[in-house]
C-alpha cells in the first residue's frame, strides 16, 4: 500500500540528519496521497540506523493508523490537520534544526533579508504564537496544526508562497508539493535563519530586501514566468 510513497518518506527522513537538520530521531517527514486521502509518516522514536521503508505508517486524515505495526510519529495529528485543511500539500517536514529553532525561541518572524530567502520564501516566515492551556488540554498536536492554519489565515498568506512556519518556543514546520521539496524548504529556512541572525549582528541596521529584488528572485524561480532549472 503506497509503497512508492513509503520509500520517498523513508528517504526524506534519512535526508534530515544528512543535511544536519536532525539529531537522533528528532524530526519527522510525511507525504500525502491525494487520491486515497491517506498519508505516510515515519514511526515514533525509531533509530534511523535500523529503520526501514516498510516501517513507515499509513494514516488517514483523522490521524487513525490504516496500515503499519509501529506507532506513528507523536506529531502525526499536526500533519493530519494540515493535510485535511490544505490537500494541495504533498509533503510536510518537522525538525528542531538549530538556527530555525533559535528564531522560534526568540519568538520572531524570519524577515526576507537576501536572495537566498527570496528564491524560496516570498516574504517573512511567520512565527506562530504559543498554544494556550485550553488548547493543550484539548489536544496539543491537533491544536498545533490549527495554530499554523490560524497564522496563515490571519495574515492572508499563501502556503506555497511561504512554505514554512516557526512555532514559538518550539521549532519549524515546512511543506511543499512533495516530501522532497518540503525537505529542501527546511534546508533553506535553516540557512536563512543563520544568515539573517548574523547579518543583524554585523549591522543592526541591515535592511530587508527591497521589494523589487524579492519579486525578481522569487518570480524567476516560481510561477509561469520562471526561467530557473531545466523545466519547460
Selected from 56, 89, 104, 162, the binder of a copy of itself by CB under 8 A is 104
Conformational region of residue 14, where left means phi above 0, alpha means psi within -120 to 50, and beta covers everything else: alpha
Q: Can residue 49 be called a binding residue for a copy of itself (CB under 8 A)?
A: no
Instruction: Please indicate whether residue 33 is annotated as part of the active site.
Output: no
User: Is the CB of 7 or the CB of 98 nearer to a copy of itself?
Assistant: 98
Render 130-187 in DSSP notation, one character per residue: PPPHHHHHHHHHHHHHHHHHHHHHHTT--TTTS-EEEETTS-EEEEESSHHHHHHHHH
Selected from 50, 156, 212, 224, the binder of a copy of itself by CB under 8 A is 212
List the one residue out of 76, 66, 57 whose CA is nearest residue 144: 76
Q: Can residue 223 be called a binding residue for a copy of itself (CB under 8 A)?
A: no
The full length of the chain comes to: 232
Q: Can residue 207 be called a binding residue for a copy of itself (CB under 8 A)?
A: yes
* Contact code string over 3-42 relative to a copy of itself, x by CB under 8 A: ----------------x---xx-x----------------
Selected from 28, 30, 174, 196, the binder of a copy of itself by CB under 8 A is 196
Cα–Cα dist 59/57, whole Å = 6
> Which candidate in 33, 55, 119, 178 is catalytic?
119
Instruction: Please indicate whether residue 119 is annotated as part of the active site.
Output: yes
List the one residue out of 168, 151, 147, 172 whose CA is nearest residue 105: 168
Least distance between a copy of itself and beta carbon 227 (Å): 6
Q: Using alpha carbons only, what angle is made at residue 198 by residues 189 and 165, rounded to the nearest 5 degrees? A: 25
Q: Can residue 102 be called a binding residue for a copy of itself (CB under 8 A)?
A: yes
Selected from 14, 46, 51, 53, the binder of a copy of itself by CB under 8 A is 46
Task: Give me the sign of the Cα torsion angle 120, 89, 127, 14.
Answer: negative
Phi first, then psi, for residue 127 (nearest 5°) are -110, 115
User: Long-range CB contacts (< 8 A, 24+ apart) of 135-139?
Assistant: 139/77
Least distance between a copy of itself and beta carbon 132 (Å): 8
Q: Which residues bind a copy of itself (CB under 8 A)?
A: 19, 23-24, 26, 43-46, 70-71, 74, 96, 98-99, 101-108, 113-116, 119, 130-133, 136, 140, 169-171, 184, 187, 191, 194-203, 206-207, 209-210, 212-213, 216, 220, 227-230
Enumerate the active-site residues: 119, 228
Amino acid at each position: 500500500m503506497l509503497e512508492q510513497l513509503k520509500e520517498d518518506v523513508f528517504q526524506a527522513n534519512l535526508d534530515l540528519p544528512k543535511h544536519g537538520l536532525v539529531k537522533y530521531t528528532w524530526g519527522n517527514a510525511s507525504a500525502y496521497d491525494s487520491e486515497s486521502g491517506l498519508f505516510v509518516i515515519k514511526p515514533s522514536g525509531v533509530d534511523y540506523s535500523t529503520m526501514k521503508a516498510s516501517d513507515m505508517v499509513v494514516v488517514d486524515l483523522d490521524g487513525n493508523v490504516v496500515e503499519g505495526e509501529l506507532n506513528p510519529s507523536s506529531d502525526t495529528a499536526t500533519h493530519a490537520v494540515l493535510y485535511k485543511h490544505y490537500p494541495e500539500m504533498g509533503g510536510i517536514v518537522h525538525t528542531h534544526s538549530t538556527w530555525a529553532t533559535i528564531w522560534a525561541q526568540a519568538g520572531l518572524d524570519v524577515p526576507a533579508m537576501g536572495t537566498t530567502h527570496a528564491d524560496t520564501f516570498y516574504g517573512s516566515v511567520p512565527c506562530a504564537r504559543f498554544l494556550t492551556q485550553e488548547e493543550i488540554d484539548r489536544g496539543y498536536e491537533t491544536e498545533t496544526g490549527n495554530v499554523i492554519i490560524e497564522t496563515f489565515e490571519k495574515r492572508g498568506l499563501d502556503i506555497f508562497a511561504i512554505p514554512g512556519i516557526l512555532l514559538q518556543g518550539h521549532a519549524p514546520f515546512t511543506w511543499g508539493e512533495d516530501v522532497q521539496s518540503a525537505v529542501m524548504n527546511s534546508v533553506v529556512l535553516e540557512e536563512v535563519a543563520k544568515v539573517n541572525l548574523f547579518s543583524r549582528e554585523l549591522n543592526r541596521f541591515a535592511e530587508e530586501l527591497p521589494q523589487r529584488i524579492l519579486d525578481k528572485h522569487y518570480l524567476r524561480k516560481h510561477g509561469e514566468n520562471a526561467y530557473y532549472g531545466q523545466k519547460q
